[in-house]
Amino acid sequence: MIILTISLGLICIFIHFVSLYQIYNGGYFIQANVPQRWRLWTWMFYFFLGYCVRLLKEGNRKRTLLSEKRVGIWCIVFSIIAIYLQYQICFVRLGKMNSEYLYDAPIIIVWSLSVFLTILNLKVSNKAEKMVSTIAGNMFGIFLVHEWINDYFALTTLPTSAMSSTLIWLLLFIVSYVVSALVIKFGGKYGKMFITY
């Protein structure tokens, strides 16, 4: 499992650097040639990465993976770097705030890992844990729905700043969550099976 995860990660990083080469030589992201839902190398990598981290966490139940303070600082630092990367490549270089092609970037991979570790290391109340579990159960549905909404309204062309990009992202997340939750609640057995994967 670890070798597969590393192999997929190397494919992601290779694709990212080829895209950067293209961008800085007048081209565009090579990922744009493949619809987002079909970029299986990326989604499989993140799925297996989460699985490997969870296994590591399960094997170290008596202690946190990293200290909560370190993981929190790591998450904040990489959040800032990820926002800067998105701004520099997408907005400054390409003229639009569209980060959908950055999932293969090493910085985004490390940032995603830091967010995942931060959530794993949180000590929260049962109520908060139940809320996180409810959202987690809808993540595949949120992924599917957000693409349709994003494509229909051309949301990636709307942001003019980091703040408007963040607000659109939050609104998109909330609307996608609500639609996903409604499909689970009212979609019957097959709706629930489809959304919860």
Q: What does the domain layout of the chain look like in residue ranges? A: 1-123, 125-197
152: tokens are 């229909």
Tell me the C-alpha distance between 91 and 84, whole Å. Answer: 10
Judge whether 104 and 16 are in contact, CB under 8 Å. yes
Judge whether 31 and 39 are in contact, CB under 8 Å. yes
User: Who's near 140: CB < 8 A, 6+ residues apart?
Assistant: 195, 196, 197
At residue 196 the predicted structure's pLDDT band, cuts being 50, 70 and 90, is low
* Predicted confidence (pLDDT) per residue in 28-51, tens digit: 889 989 987 789 999 899 989 988
At residue 19 the predicted structure's pLDDT band, cuts being 50, 70 and 90, is very high
Residue 178 has pLDDT above 60, yes or no: yes
At residue 172 the predicted structure's pLDDT band, cuts being 50, 70 and 90, is very high
Amino acid in the structure at residue 102: L
At residue 13 the predicted structure's pLDDT band, cuts being 50, 70 and 90, is very high
DSSP, res 92 = I
10: tokens are 């190397």
At residue 132 the predicted structure's pLDDT band, cuts being 50, 70 and 90, is confident
5: tokens are 């995860």
Tell me the C-alpha distance between 44 and 51, whole Å. Answer: 10
Judge whether 120 and 66 are in contact, CB under 8 Å. no
Tell me the C-alpha distance between 64 and 77, whole Å. Answer: 20
pLDDT given for residue 78 in this prediction: 92
User: Who's near 59: CB < 8 A, 6+ residues apart?
Assistant: none
Please indicate whether residue 5 or residue 160 has the higher confidence score (pLDDT): 5
Residue 2 has pLDDT above 90, yes or no: no
Tell me the C-alpha distance between 22 and 26, whole Å. Answer: 6
- Give the residue-averaged pLDDT of 21-29: 90
CA within 13 Å, CB half, 28: 12
